[in-house]
């Protein structure tokens, strides 16, 4: 594994190697398997772009019949990328009465996930739970429970395994942290 990498103007070093990520994914999948075995065809809803690699590895370990779909939180045109108004796009099928498991790459302040849960609740699913690869408990400022956090991390900026720094780094198989 390449120990230091450069993305745009910043240098990153390995924080979490591939093997540790795989262990966390397997442990998360085991918890979901135990909780959902008796439920009828739950829907995994991956949040693009960051969750694509995690969702793919997670799904290979899910042992019950399920559906997989993807959504994206897009800023409305005309607002800055950090703008407060974000639109949930891509939700094709009906989720009324269904068990939904949102799959995120990372939950930081919780702003995105809170918006997503509010939007999905209006469509009357039977249940909504949140699965995320990374969770920053010190940054989290919402009350919605994060049901399946695969790994807790501190307030550091990470990339790799789907996560990006200004769109670069998503392809890395290990997770890197920005150096000072
Ligand atoms: P939140 O709304 O503050 O929870 O953060 C949501 C989004 O910020 C995530 O879905 C990521 O796209 C991005 N983000 C937060 N922390 C990181 C990080 O450490 N690396 C890369 N992206 C991050
Ligand atoms: Mg994201």
Is pTM beyond 0.75? Reply is yes
Say what percent of the chain tops pLDDT 90.
86
Residue among 108, 147, 164, 174 flagged as catalytic:
108
Surrounding residues of ion ligand 2, Cβ less than 5 A: 50, 105
Known catalytic membership, residue 108: yes
CB 75 less than 6 A from any atom of ligand 1: no
What mean pLDDT comes out for the span 117-137? 97
What rounded mean pLDDT belongs to the chain? Answer: 93
Distance of CA 76 to the CA centre of its chain: 21
Distance of CA 25 to the CA centre of its chain: 12
pLDDT digits (tens, 9 = 90+) for 17-43: 999 999 999 999 999 999 999 999 999
Query: Residue 163 in contact with residue 175, Cβ under 8 Å?
Result: yes
Q: Which CATH number fits domain 20-154: 3.40.47.10, 3.40.50.2020, 2.60.120.560, 3.40.190.10?
A: 3.40.50.2020
Residue ranges per structural domain of the chain: 20-154
């Amino acid at each position: 594994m390449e120990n230091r990498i450069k993305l745009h103007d910043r240098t990153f070093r390995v924080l979490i190697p591939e093997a540790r990520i795989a262990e966390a994914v397997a442990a998360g999948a085991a918890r979901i398997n135990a909780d959902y075995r008796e439920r009828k065809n739950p829907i995994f809803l991956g949040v693009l772009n960051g969750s694509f690699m995690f969702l793919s590895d997670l799904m290979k370990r899910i042992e019950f019949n399920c559906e997989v779909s993807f959504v994206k939180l897009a800023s409305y045109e005309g607002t800055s990328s950090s703008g407060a108004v974000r639109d949930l796009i891509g939700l094709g099928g009906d989720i009324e009465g269904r068990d939904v498991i949102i799959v995120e790459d990372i939950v930081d302040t919780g702003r995105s996930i809170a918006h997503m849960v509010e939007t999905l609740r209006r469509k009357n699913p039977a249940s909504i739970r949140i699965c995320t690869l990374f969770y920053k408990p010190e940054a989290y400022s919402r009350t919605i429970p994060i049901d399946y956090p695969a790994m807790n991390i501190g307030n550091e900026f990470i990339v790799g395994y789907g996560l990006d720094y200004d769109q670069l780094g998503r392809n890395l198989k290990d997770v890197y942290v920005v150096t000072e």
